């Protein structure tokens, strides 16, 4: 059960009037004040445009042929003067009694846009007088209604103001703090409240492939359940734990599993929800968050993407007062609360290197729990967890899928299972097969097949020789991975064909021979083009990029260069995101690195040419078979290769 503690009635709002009522009351008061002011302004403007005159003056103006038209109402007569009326005569008539009434008459004797009115008397000859002077007159059919006047003067302006408030101010208020309280609630925490005593859907059984992380978190859960066992020996509960790892590895899922296992309240929000455009709002939300946690104790606070407010305050060109104040308040609150009350703080990030050192010290985040991408057993366990939700064919081998997905995170594996289930439904089956799973892996990695892209015969031959070059180099080298599939069917991510290699087992270390074999396989596609067609194509762009990256890592990070030896020339930054390398050596060394990398690539390219020239017949025959069939499995490729050897 999820509750929103930003405003309105909720567990943290007991004893207070709901913010919605406060907001409506504030709107009502402001609306009445503005409407009253508008009525005063409009009434004053109308008063300036209407001038009261005596009945005798009205008759004199009629006799002077200065009246244009007359409006006869129940209790008054309104008249408008002609624009060409004699100025002196009008001034004489209107100025006759002005000294007593204090009425101001324009200097030119004309009223301009003003309307003159006088009280209505019982005068039977009035109509005859008006007709004799050709004065247009009428009496309105619609009579004045006090109720309608009240609605038009008060109710209608209030409705207009409410519409403006609802569509503009309410939207702004939601951005500033949510609910009808608007700006008054800007400092309220946006944390979502989960009552895990009733919601036990997430537990450690739902988290696979992260055994070490679960082991660290289980101890925290046990402390929340049985604190006396730890207090007897003098142990204190850790105040917080920082979950660090790449995106999609299950950091948020682990935090929910901790709350589900502990059966305690769970307050969840993102680091970006603290920061607003107004200075002080973030700090106020931090205070409100810990106040909520104290009410719900024992509970767990989970801050996702904490790097949004926890960036280091050192060596910054430009500061951010709001973010720094929010961080300072968070540091103060983490120091101030008593961990014995059962409040545990969990936070997640994939950029730990940019976090402030004060945030990472013991006493705030006592533990750093690494949530890495899963290894082979972990991937298989994750696939088993997600496979329980779909109907699988009995012959499905999830270990083979785990081998094919090296480097995949938990979210990637869940997506692959779902893609396989969708494909099975699309093809009219009620069970997911091994073929569906492998196709899902290829879809996630390389995209869907582009059946509408038709290659010319020359391009098709070139792609076929290119891919067979990769496959032959893999099969003919001792340190290469076995070939699983060769295809020349284009994919949506830009590949015109690809060769899939599957390792026989998970490797955690790579030797220099392994890396050189990988580079040779990558460059063998270009080598096959050169041998068969005597020219190069753009199809090897991605192969060259990957080969260059491997060769550069050998020189700058792995110490596998004869020239530089064990010297480290690059450092890894953003380890859990893009894994970008930053060159740390001098500019002079940079040129030497480029020459060393070029030498490694040239040697591997020469080796690829040598392997393919020695097996030119196999290259041509397998390429011809691939052109005809478009896709060859790894088993078929090895059978064809053995037949060629025996022949």
Residue 597: which pLDDT band, with cuts at 50, 70 and 90?
Answer: very high
CA 480 from chain center: how many Å? 41
Residue 58: which pLDDT band, with cuts at 50, 70 and 90?
Answer: confident
Q: CATH 3.30.720.210 residue ranges in the chain?
A: 53-143
Is pLDDT above 70 for 148? no
Cross-strand pairs, 501: 483
Q: What is the mean pLDDT of residues 604-631?
A: 93
Q: CATH 3.40.50.300 residue ranges in the chain?
A: 192-370
**Which H/E stretch holds residue 76?**
strand 76-81
Q: What is the mean pLDDT of residues 73-91?
A: 75
**Which H/E stretch holds residue 112?**
none
| Structure tokens belonging to residue 257 | 């599993």
CATH topology of domain 53-143: 3.30.720
Residue 2: which pLDDT band, with cuts at 50, 70 and 90?
Answer: very low
Asked if 217 contacts 345 with a C-beta cutoff of 8 angstroms, the reply is no
Is pLDDT above 60 for 502? yes
Most confident range, picked from 195-209, 484-498, 520-534: 520-534
**Which H/E stretch holds residue 357?**
helix 357-360
Tokens 């104290």, residue located: 294
Q: Identify the pLDDT of residue 15.
A: 36
Residue 221: which pLDDT band, with cuts at 50, 70 and 90?
Answer: confident
Q: Identify the pLDDT of residue 42.
A: 61
**Which H/E stretch holds residue 322?**
helix 321-336
Asked if 598 contacts 561 with a C-beta cutoff of 8 angstroms, the reply is no
d(CA 576, CA 583): 18
Order of all β-strands in the sheet with 67-72? 50-52, 115-119, 76-81, 67-72, 136-138
User: Could you tell me which residue, 103 or 61, shows the higher pLDDT?
Assistant: 61
Three-state helix/strand/coil letters over 362-413: CCCCCEEEECCCCCHHHHHHHHHHHHCCCCECCCCCHHHHHHHCCCCCHHHH
User: Could you tell me which residue, 100 or 182, shows the higher pLDDT?
Assistant: 182
Q: Identify the pLDDT of residue 339.
A: 65
Residue 141: which pLDDT band, with cuts at 50, 70 and 90?
Answer: low
Q: Please, what's the b/e burial string for 205-222 (b: 16 or more CB within 10 A of its CB; e: otherwise)?
A: eebbbbeebbebbeebbe
Q: Identify the pLDDT of residue 290.
A: 86
Instruction: Return the CA Rg of the chain.
Output: 42
Q: CATH 1.10.8.60 residue ranges in the chain?
A: 376-446
Q: CATH 1.20.58.760 residue ranges in the chain?
A: 457-646
Q: Tens digits of per-residue pLDDT, 290-328?
A: 888 888 878 888 998 898 888 887 755 555 677 788 888
d(CA 273, CA 450): 42
30 Rama class: left (phi>0) / alpha (psi -120 to 50) / beta: alpha
Percent over 90 (pLDDT), the chain = 26
**Which H/E stretch holds residue 82?**
none
Q: Identify the pLDDT of residue 177.
A: 45
Q: Identify the pLDDT of residue 228.
A: 84
As annotated, the active-site residues are 467
Q: Tens digits of per-residue pLDDT, 110-122?
A: 444 567 878 887 7
CA 628 vs CA 391, 463, 623, 633, 637: distances in Å:
35, 13, 9, 14, 14
Q: Tens digits of per-residue pLDDT, 446-481?
A: 888 887 777 888 999 999 999 999 999 999 998 888
| Structure tokens belonging to residue 445 | 């990695």
Cross-strand pairs, 345: 240, 301
Is pLDDT above 60 for 218? yes
User: Could you tell me which residue, 234 or 198, shows the higher pLDDT?
Assistant: 234
244 Rama class: left (phi>0) / alpha (psi -120 to 50) / beta: beta
Asked if 431 contacts 392 with a C-beta cutoff of 8 angstroms, the reply is yes
Is pLDDT above 60 for 1? no
Q: Tens digits of per-residue pLDDT, 345-383?
A: 899 998 888 888 888 888 888 889 999 899 899 999 999
DSSP-derived 3-state class of residue 272? helix
CATH homologous superfamily for the domain 192-370: P-loop containing nucleotide triphosphate hydrolases (3.40.50.300)
Contacts by 631-636 with C-beta closer than 8 Å and gap 24+? 631/485, 631/486, 631/487, 631/488, 631/489, 632/485, 632/486, 632/487, 633/484, 633/485, 634/482, 634/483, 634/484, 634/485, 634/486, 634/500, 634/502
Is pLDDT above 60 for 220? yes
Q: What is the mean pLDDT of residues 160-164?
A: 71
User: Could you tell me which residue, 304 or 572, shows the higher pLDDT?
Assistant: 304
Phi, psi (rounded to 5 degrees) for 450: -100, 90
Q: Tens digits of per-residue pLDDT, 406-440?
A: 888 999 999 999 999 999 999 999 999 999 999 99
- Structurally, at CATH architecture level, domain 457-646 sits in Up-down Bundle (1.20)
Q: Identify the pLDDT of residue 460.
A: 92
Asked if 482 contacts 474 with a C-beta cutoff of 8 angstroms, the reply is yes
Q: Identify the pLDDT of residue 646.
A: 62
Most confident range, picked from 105-114, 275-284, 293-302, 436-445: 436-445
CB contact set of 99 (below 8 Å; sequence gap of 6+): none
Angle at 288 between CA 263 and CA 170, to 5 degrees: 110
Q: Tens digits of per-residue pLDDT, 223-258?
A: 878 888 888 888 888 888 999 999 989 898 888 888
Q: Identify the pLDDT of residue 98.
A: 45
Mean pLDDT value across the chain: 80
Is pLDDT above 50 for 103? no
Residue 8: which pLDDT band, with cuts at 50, 70 and 90?
Answer: very low
Taking each helix axis from N to C terminus, what angle separates 156-164 and 19-49, rounded to the nearest 10 degrees?
130
Cross-strand pairs, 79: 70, 116
User: Could you tell me which residue, 169 or 385, shows the higher pLDDT?
Assistant: 385
Residue 85: which pLDDT band, with cuts at 50, 70 and 90?
Answer: low
Asked if 312 contacts 357 with a C-beta cutoff of 8 angstroms, the reply is yes
Is pLDDT above 90 for 641? no
One of 1.20.1250.20, 3.40.50.300, 1.10.8.60, 3.40.50.12780 is the CATH number of 376-446, namely 1.10.8.60
Is pLDDT above 80 for 629? yes
Render 496-532 in DSSP notation, one character per residue: S-EEEE--SS--S---HHHHHHHHHHHHHHHHHHHHH
Residue 165 is given by DSSP the state: I
CB contact set of 277 (below 8 Å; sequence gap of 6+): 322
Q: Identify the pLDDT of residue 356.
A: 87
């Amino acid at each position: 059960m999820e509750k929103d503690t930003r405003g309105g009635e909720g567990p943290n709002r007991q004893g207070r009037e709901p913010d919605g009522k406060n907001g409506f009351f504030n709107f009502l008061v402001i609306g009445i004040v503005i409407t009253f002011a508008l009525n005063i302004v409009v009434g004053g403007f109308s008063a300036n445009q209407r001038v009261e005159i005596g009945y005798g003056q009205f008759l004199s103006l009629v006799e002077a042929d200065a009246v244009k038209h007359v409006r006869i109402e129940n209790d008054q007569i309104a008249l408008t003067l002609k624009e060409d009326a004699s100025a002196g005569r009008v001034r004489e008539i209107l100025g006759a009694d002005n000294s007593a009434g204090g009425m101001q008459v324009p200097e030119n004797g004309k009223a301009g846009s003003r309307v003159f009115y006088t009280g209505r008397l019982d005068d039977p000859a009035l109509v005859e007088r008006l007709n004799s002077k050709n004065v247009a007159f009428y009496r309105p059919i619609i009579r004045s209604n006090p109720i309608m006047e009240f609605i038009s003067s008060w109710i209608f302006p209030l409705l207009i103001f409410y519409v403006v408030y609802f569509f503009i101010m309410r939207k702004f208020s939601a951005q500033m703090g949510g609910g009808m309280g608007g700006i008054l609630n800007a400092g309220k925490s946006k944390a979502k409240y989960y009552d895990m005593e009733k919601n036990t859907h997430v537990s450690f059984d739902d988290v696979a492939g992260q055994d070490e992380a679960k082991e660290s978190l289980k101890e925290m859960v046990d402390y929340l359940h049985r604190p006396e066992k730890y207090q007897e020996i003098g142990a204190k509960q850790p105040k917080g734990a920082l979950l660090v790892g790449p995106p999609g590895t299950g950091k948020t899922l682990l935090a929910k599993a901790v709350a589900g296992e502990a059966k305690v309240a769970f307050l969840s929000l993102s680091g970006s929800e603290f920061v607003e455009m107004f200075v002080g709002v973030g700090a106020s939300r931090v205070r409100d968050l810990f106040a909520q946690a104290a009410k719900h104790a024992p509970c767990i606070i989970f801050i996702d993407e904490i790097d949004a407010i926890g960036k280091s305050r050192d060596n910054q060109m430009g500061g951010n007062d709001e973010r720094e104040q929010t961080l300072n308040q968070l540091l103060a609150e983490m120091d101030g609360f008593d961990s014995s009350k059962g409040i545990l703080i969990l936070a997640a990030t994939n950029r730990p290197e940019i976090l402030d050192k004060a945030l990472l010290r013991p006493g705030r985040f006592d533990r750093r729990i690494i949530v890495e991408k899963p290894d082979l057993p972990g991937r298989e366990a994750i696939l088993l967890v997600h496979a329980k939700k779909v109907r699988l064919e009995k012959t499905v081998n999830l270990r083979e899928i785990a081998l094919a997905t090296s480097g995949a995170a938990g979210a990637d594996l869940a997506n692959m299972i779902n893609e396989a289930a969708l494909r099975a439904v699309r093809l009219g089956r009620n069970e997911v097969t091994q073929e569906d799973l492998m196709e899902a892996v290829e879809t996630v990695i390389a995209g869907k097949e582009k059946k509408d892209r038709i290659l010319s015969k020359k391009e098709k031959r070139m792609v076929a020789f290119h891919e067979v070059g990769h496959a032959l180099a893999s099969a003919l080298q001792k340190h290469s991975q076995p070939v699983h599939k060769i295809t020349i069917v284009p994919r949506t991510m830009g590949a015109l064909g690809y060769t899939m290699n599957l390792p026989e087992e998970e490797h955690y270390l790579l030797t220099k021979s392994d890396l050189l074999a990988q580079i040779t396989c990558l460059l063998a596609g270009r080598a096959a083009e050169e041998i068969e067609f005597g020219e190069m194509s753009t199809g090897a762009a991605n192969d060259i990029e990957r080969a260059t990256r491997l060769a550069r890592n050998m020189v700058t990070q792995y110490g596998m260069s004869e020239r530089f030896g064990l010297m480290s020339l690059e450092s890894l930054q953003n380890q859990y995101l893009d894994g970008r390398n930053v060159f740390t050596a001098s500019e002079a060394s940079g040129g030497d690195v480029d020459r060393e990398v070029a030498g490694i690539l040239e040697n591997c390219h020469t080796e690829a040419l040598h392997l393919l020239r020695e097996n030119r017949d196999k290259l041509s025959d397998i390429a011809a078979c691939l052109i005809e069939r478009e896709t060859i499995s790894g088993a078929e490729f090895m059978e064809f290769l053995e037949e060629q050897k025996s022949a």
